[in-house]
Structure 1
C-alpha cells in the first residue's frame, strides 16, 4: 500500500466515526445541506493529521447568462459549469487524483467560485467516502419541528444529565444514547446536540469535557 493510500484510509477511518452533519440551511427553499464550509471544517484537520496536501486545478469552464425581465435593464443570472481536478498527495510524492464537475448560478460575480466550491466539496465527499449518517438533528426535524425546538423550554434535568454523561463517556457512548433516544427526547435536546456531540468528540480524542458547563 502506498503512503497516500494509507493516508486516505486514515482519513476515512476518522471521518467514518462522525460523518458530516447538515449544518447549513437554504432558507428560501427550506432544506438543510452539507456545504463546502462543513466539509473543510471537518476534513481539514484530518488532512493535516495524516499528511495529505491538496492541489486543485480547473478546466472546461462554460459560462452563459440569462437575462431577467427586460435585457435593457442589465439584470442577468450567470450559469457556470467547470471540471475540477484535485491531486491528493502524501509527503513521499505518492498521490491520487479526483475529478469532479461543479455547476452553479449567481446573479452577481460568484458563479465561478460557487462552481469551484461544489466541485471541491464533491471531491472531498467522494474521495473519503464521507458518511451521510452523521448524528444530525436535521435527520429527523422538519422546519416546523426546528421552530418548536428553538422555542421550547429546557429539557428535563434527568434527560439532560443522561445526555451529558453519555457525551462525557465519548463519541460511541453518545452515539448509542442519541440513537436510542425517543423522537420527543431528541427534539428536547436539539438545541444542545451540537455542543454535546463536540464534547463527545473531544473526549474520544483525549481532550477535556465541558458538556455540563
Structure 2
C-alpha cells in the first residue's frame, strides 16, 4: 500500500527517493480537493435575509434604528441621571439584526481587575474589559471591532457587567444611534454649569439691592454671551425695559453714578 507521500510524489512525477526541501503538496494534487463553499447551495427562503455583504447589512440595521431614548433613571446616593440600559439597547437591535442576518459575537475578552472601597468600608471589585467583536453578515463575511467596558460589583458580577457595557457601547457607538434629545450645543451650556437662565431671573437679580456692582457687570457679560442684552422685561414699575438698560441703571445707582 502506497503512502500519502508516495502518492503525492507520483502525482508530481517524482519518487520519494528524490530529496527536496519543498514539503508542500503539488498544486495539481491539491486542486483535486477544493475547499467547499458552505453557501454554494444555499437557497434563501421567504423569511431569510438578503445575501448582501456585512457592511450593507449593517447599514440596513442602522437605517431601521433611528434613535433610542434615555428612558431609564439612575437615582442613588443623591446622584440622578437618565441613561440607556443594555437591555433596552439589545431589545432594539436584536430583532433588527436578526431580520438582516447580522450576528454579533465576542471573539476575545481581555480583562483587568482592581478593588475600590465603599463609603461603608466595604470593598467592590472593579473590572475593565477590552472586547474584540466579530460582526458577521448573512454571507459569512465579517467586521472586527473593539470596545471597552468598566463596572463595579460587590459580588461576582463585575466581569459580566463590564462586558454588557462594552456591548452597549458597540451597538450605540458603531450604530451611531442618537437619543432623540435636543442638541446639547443649542443652549450653549458648558459642562458643570446650570441650565440657561430666564430673562426674568436676571431681572430679579439686577433689581435685588444685595447684588453688587461687580456682579451686575458679570451679569451684563452673561447676557451679552447669551444674546439677551436687548431682551425686554417688565421692570420694577411694570414698564417694558431691556435687561441692558435695567442693569445699567442699577449699576449707576450702586456706584453713585459712576459709569
Q: Same fold (TM over 0.5)?
A: yes
Q: Which residue pairs with 1:53 in the alignment?
A: 103
Matches within 5 A, 1:97-116: 97-116=144-163
SS at match of 2:140: coil
CA distance in 2, matches of 1:50, 1:63: 37
SS at match of 1:27: strand
CA distance in 2, matches of 1:130, 1:69: 36
Q: How many residues align?
A: 129
Tell whether 2:41 aligns with 1:41.
no
Deviation at 1:60, TM superposition (A): 2.5
CA distance in 2, matches of 1:69, 1:80: 19
Deviation at 1:66, TM superposition (A): 3.0
Q: Which residue pairs with 1:22 in the alignment?
A: 70
Deviation at 1:88, TM superposition (A): 0.9
CA distance in 1, matches of 2:70, 2:119: 35
Deviations 1:122-156 (A, max 9, x none): 01112211122169xxxxxxxxxxxxxxxxxxxxx
Deviation at 1:116, TM superposition (A): 0.4
Q: Which residue pairs with 1:183 in the alignment?
A: none
Deviations 1:153-187 (A, max 9, x none): xxxxxxxxxxxxxxxxxxxxxxxxxxxxxxxxxxx
Q: Flag structure 2 segments of 5+ consecutive residues without an equivalent.
A: 1-51, 183-259
Q: Which has the higher contact order (CA 8 A, sep 6+)?
A: 1
TM-score (norm 1): 0.56
CA distance in 1, matches of 2:83, 2:167: 15
Deviation at 1:108, TM superposition (A): 1.8
TM-score (norm 2): 0.46
Q: Flag structure 1 segments of 5+ consecutive residues without an equivalent.
A: 136-213
Deviation at 1:70, TM superposition (A): 9.2
CA distance in 2, matches of 1:7, 1:121: 19
Matches within 5 A, 1:127-206: 127-133=174-180
Q: Which residue pairs with 1:77 in the alignment?
A: 124
Check conservation: 1:15, 1:131, Cα contact below 8 A: no
**RMSD of aligned Cα (Å):** 2.1
* Structure richer in helix, relative to its length: 1
Please tell me whether Structure 1 or Structure 2 has the larger radius of gyration of its CA atoms: 2
Deviation at 1:65, TM superposition (A): 1.7
